[in-house]
Structure 1
Amino acid sequence: MSHVEAVCLSHKKGIVKKEQQQVEMRENWGIEGDAHAGDWHRQVSLLAGESIDNVKEILPTLKNGAFAENIITRGINLTTLQVGDRLQVGDQVVLEITQIG
């Protein structure tokens, strides 16, 4: 079953994001307090946990947030998503894909 494995944020751009136990999502804004949140088209970034696993084989001490990802997924083939697709996250959040890569 697909799920969110971790959520990360940073208050400044250009630094490693840190894993959070809980975040507040704001409609048309992104994750409250994250440097990339705002009134633009790239408010939240997704990365597959399976992709991180491949890198951890080489760098086992790698921590979540190292790739500036906000949401780490598990069990979702993110490569099949297209611009305009929507993902339901929990009961209250819907993410719309606005850019790939």
Structure 2
Amino acid sequence: MGASDTVGGTVLTVSSNGVYAFTKPNRESVTLLAGLGVEGDVHAGVTVKHRSRMAKDPTVPNLRQVHLIHAELLDEVAGSGFDVPPGALGENITTRGIDLLGLPTGARLRLGAEAVVEVTGLRNPCAQIDGFRHGLLKQVLGRDEEGRLVRKAGIMAVVLTGGVVRPGDPIAVELPAGPHRPLEKV
């Protein structure tokens, strides 16, 4: 990466699932594959793999190859009475110590020694979250001072450089050249 590298945090857990299910079991490691996503994960692929998006147009590029959530969100919802363990919201990588939602579009994250992902946008939380824990959707959606919707259920990325990612791996952040574009739903 470049001179603008900063240590952003740590990988808390990694998760994947080879079948469509809301949650993803935690793993000892996951392997990221360039241009595809998480090896063996149902959402890996060059084109979109989320069922609702495939129904609209299965040829659209997959900008949602890797889903990352900050553990601080899980702490926040726990404070409101929701027990949400890492992987439960379908994320592949749970981080700690990095402001994922504050990253700009195009930020690059080095995960461990080799893997690099590029942030494409925000996860748009859906009603399945309430199916997992009733009332949780309201916890991961909010409004800012201007009344705009704030999505807090993590970010999506594409894999630029493959590699193995494990719990405890450091995360380094490289910001793109400005002006920075805030994250939007993808």
2:94 to 69, 72, 78: 72
Amino acid at match of 1:3: T
Q: Does 1:46 align with 2:68?
A: yes
> Secondary structure of 1:97's match?
strand
Question: Normalising by structure 1, what TM-score?
Answer: 0.90
Q: How many percent identity over aligned positions? A: 36
Runs of at least 4 residues off by over 6 Å: none
Cα distance in structure 2, aligned partners of 1:26 and 1:15: 22
Number of aligned positions between the proteins: 100
- Structure 1 gaps, min length 5: none
**C-alpha deviation, 1:35, in angstroms:** 0.9
After superposition, where does 1:22-61 map in structure 2 within 5 Å? Answer: 22-39=29-46, 40-57=62-79, 58-60=81-83
Confirm or deny: 8 A CA contact 2:22 2:89 kept in the other structure.
no
Cα distance in structure 2, aligned partners of 1:13 and 1:41: 18
> Secondary structure of 2:88's match?
coil
Amino acid at match of 2:17: S
Cα distance in structure 2, aligned partners of 1:15 and 1:71: 15
Cα distance in structure 1, aligned partners of 2:69 and 2:116: 16
- Structure 2 gaps, min length 5: 1-6, 47-61, 124-186
CA RMSD of aligned residues (A): 1.4
Q: Which has the larger radius of gyration?
A: 2
Q: Which residue of 2 aligns with 1:81?
A: 103
Amino acid at match of 1:63: P
Question: Normalising by structure 2, what TM-score?
Answer: 0.51
